[in-house]
Amino acid sequence: MRFLLAVIVIAVLGWSGYWFVGQRGLEQGFSTWFEARRAEGWVAETSRLNVQGFPNRFDTGFTDLTLADPATGLAWEAPFFQILALSYQPNHVIAVWPDSQLIATPQDKFRVESRDMRASLRIAPNTSLAPERATLTSESLKITPLARPDEQTALTTLTLAAERQQGTEYRLGLTAEGLSLSPPWRALLDPKDTLPTHISGLHADLTVSFDKVWDRSAIEVARPQPTAITIKLADARWGQLHLQGAGALTVTPEGIPEGEITLKARNWREMLDIAVQTGAVPDGMRKTLESGLSLMAQMSGNPNTLDVPLTFRRGRILLGPIPVGPAPVLRLR
C-alpha cells in the first residue's frame, strides 16, 4: 500500500509538473511570437493572454486580439480567440472564433458574424506547426462591408477541409449551403429577379500543390504559392442552373494557370446571360459565342446541356474554340 501510494503521489506530482511547465512554455512562446511580429513592424496586441485547463487541457485564450501585417495590408481584430488542446495530445487543437470579428484588406474592411465558428487542426509535432489536417465549420455566416452595411453576403452553413497528402500537396474540400448574395451582386447576376434568393449549394473537391509546405512561416515569412491544381469535382446549383467542372491546371511562377477544365452546364444560355451581364464575356461576343456553344450542345444530344472545355493557355481563357478573356492571376497576397 505504501509503495502504491508513493507511485500515485509521484505520478500526480510528475503530471502536475508537466502541466505547469507546458503552461509556462505556451505563454512564453506566444509572448515571444507577438514580440517578434512587432519587431517586424506588425501590429500584434492582446490585452490578456492566459493558459488554463489543469490538469487535462491546455486552453489558451486571447482577449482583445489585434493582428495587422503591413506588408500585405491584412488585419484581423477579435474580442477573444481560443486555442484548445488536450494536455496529453497537444498537437491536436480546436480553434474557436467569436461571434463577431473584423477583417481588413487593402480594398475594404468587413465585419464577419457567425455562430459557432471553429476549426479542428492536427498539427505536426514539431516547431514548424505545419497543419496535417484541418476542418473549419460555421453556421449563419454573414460578411458585411463596414462602409456599406446594406451589402451583406450570407451563408447558412460553411465547411472547409484540408488534408496534407504528401510533400506540398493538399486535398481541399468546400461545402457551402444557402448562399445569399449582396444586393449589388444580386442585381448584377439576376437583374430580372427570376432566380431563387439563395444559391442552394456549392461543393468542391480538389487537390492543390504549393511551392512549399503550409507552416508557421506562411504567416511569418511568405504565403505558399500554388503550382498545380486538380479539380476532381466542382458543383454549383442556383435554381434551375447547374454547373459542374473537373480538370487540371499547372500554375507558372508568375501565377498564370495553364491547362483545361471540362464544364458541364445545364440551362447554359441563362449562364451566358449572367457572364455578359457581369462583363466576364464582352457583349459584342455574345452572338458569336452563343452560336458556337449552341452547335456544341446540339452535337452532345441535349440543346440545354453543354459539355465544353475551358482552356487556359498563354494567359488567356478559351471556352471551346472561342477566346473569352484574360486568365486570372493565381497568387496569394
β-bridge mates for residue 290, sequence order: none
Q: pTM for the full model?
A: 0.84
pLDDT score for 14? 56
Q: Which residue ranges in the chain fall short of pLDDT 50? A: 12
Query: pLDDT of 219-259, one tens digit each?
Result: 888 899 999 999 999 999 988 888 899 999 999 999 999 99
- In the chain, where the domains are located: 1-107
Residue 141 grid coordinates:
455566416
